[in-house]
């Protein structure tokens, strides 16, 4: 189960990076990042910072400016008093971004719900590849399809120990221990594929896996073990940290209701 969770993570990342092939504009992939980086600061959800009473994060609120042509007029403007984003913000749209926005508006300016609130698709089409003997498993076909599309070739396979080091850092944030190295090398000499599989299984089963996965989560939530001042006398935040770590180690899925309900967690 846990493995599947990781594969999904990898897969969606890869799909975002490697397969933006289709010409069709997708709001979440192509447009939201532009609006969010270059416009939301002054025309987004934050009411206090909102300028000209215009917001582009809500379609209905933006339609009039799209339809009147004012939006395109402002991003194509050359007059410093008119151009958006304003020069003094030090933000700038590239020509490619302007073209994307223009095409998107001409196509009807459709919005999508934020990807983090949408469920993953039940299944995803697996791309065709030319070097059919390179992929070892389905996920590899996505990687290879991206590599082939870029006109590149996969590099050679890493040596076992190098591989172990990478996997260890990826899954636990730590280098492999001496014991792990010895066990792995002994297993590799018998059956390489099996040795790789069991090394990954051991890392997924270790407590450090949850810590590694929780790190990004806690960073985003601006978690700290300390307030950084002498007011640190009373620390009550750590149970939440431990809860997040344990949630990953128990593979609780954030959008499954039991992920929220299970308070008997440390038992
Ligand atoms: C640093 C703040 C800031 C950023 C970033 C910014 N704007 Fe503006 N925007 C303003 C201000 C201030 C006004 C009102 C003054 C004016 O009309 O020039 C404005 C006005 C506008 C208007 C005219 C609205 C009307 O009333 O007709 C449009 C359209 C617009 N912005 C589009 C954008 C777009 C598109 C982006 C991103 C690519 C963007 N702005 C980024 C500050 C900003």
Give, for ligand 1, the residue of 83, 85, 101 to mutate: max count of ligand atoms closer than 8 Å to Cβ.
85
Mean pLDDT taken over the chain: 88
Please state which of the ranges 177-181, 212-216, 234-238 shows the lowest mean pLDDT. Answer: 234-238
Nearest to 248 by CA among 210, 220, 200, 208: 210
Ligand 1 surroundings by CB, under 6 angstroms? 38-39, 41-43, 51-52, 54, 65, 70-71, 74-75, 84-86, 89, 91, 93
Please write down the HEC assignment for all residues of 39-91. Answer: CHHHHCCCHHHCCCCCCCCCHHHHHHHHHHCHHHHHHHCCCCCCCCCCHHHCC
Q: Mention every residue, 6+ apart, whose C-beta is less than 8 A from residue 175.
A: 165, 168, 169
The residue whose CA has the least distance to atom 6 of ligand 1 is: 85
Domains in the chain: boundaries:
1-19+127-156, 24-113, 160-205, 209-229+236-255
Closest Cα partner for 71 from 45, 105, 95? Answer: 105
**Model confidence over 7-16: pLDDT tens digits?**
444 444 444 4
CA gap 140, 146 in Å, rounded: 10
Q: Work out the average pLDDT over 105-118.
A: 91
pLDDT attached to residue 125: 94
């Amino acid at each position: 189960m846990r493995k599947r969770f990781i594969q999904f993570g990898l897969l969606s990342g890869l799909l975002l990076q490697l397969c933006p092939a289709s010409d069709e504009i997708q709001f979440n992939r192509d447009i939201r990042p532009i609006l969010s980086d270059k416009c939301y600061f002054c025309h987004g959800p934050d009411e206090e910072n909102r300028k000209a009473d215009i917001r582009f994060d809500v379609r209905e609120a933006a339609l009039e400016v799209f339809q009147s042509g004012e939006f395109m007029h402002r991003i194509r403007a050359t007059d410093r008093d008119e151009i958006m984003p304003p020069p003094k913000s030090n933000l700038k749209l590239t020509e490619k971004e302007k073209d994307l926005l223009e095409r998107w508006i001409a196509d009807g300016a459709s919005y999508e719900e934020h990807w983090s609130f949408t469920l993953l698709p039940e299944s995803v089409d697996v791309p065709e590849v030319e070097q059919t003997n390179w992929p070892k498993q389905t996920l590899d076909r996505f990687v290879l399809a991206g590599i082939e599309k870029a006109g590149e070739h996969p590099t050679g396979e890493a040596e076992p120990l190098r591989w172990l080091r990478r996997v260890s850092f990826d899954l636990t944030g730590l280098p492999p221990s001496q014991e792990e190295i010895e066990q792995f090398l002994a297993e590799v000499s018998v059956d390489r594929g099996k040795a790789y599989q069991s090394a990954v299984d051991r890392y997924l089963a270790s407590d450090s896996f949850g810590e590694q996965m929780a790190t990004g989560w806690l960073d985003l939530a601006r978690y700290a073990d300390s307030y950084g001042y002498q007011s640190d006398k009373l620390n009550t935040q750590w149970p939440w940290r431990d809860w997040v770590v344990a949630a990953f180690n128990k593979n609780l899925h954030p959008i499954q209701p039991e992920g929220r309900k299970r308070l008997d967690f440390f038992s």
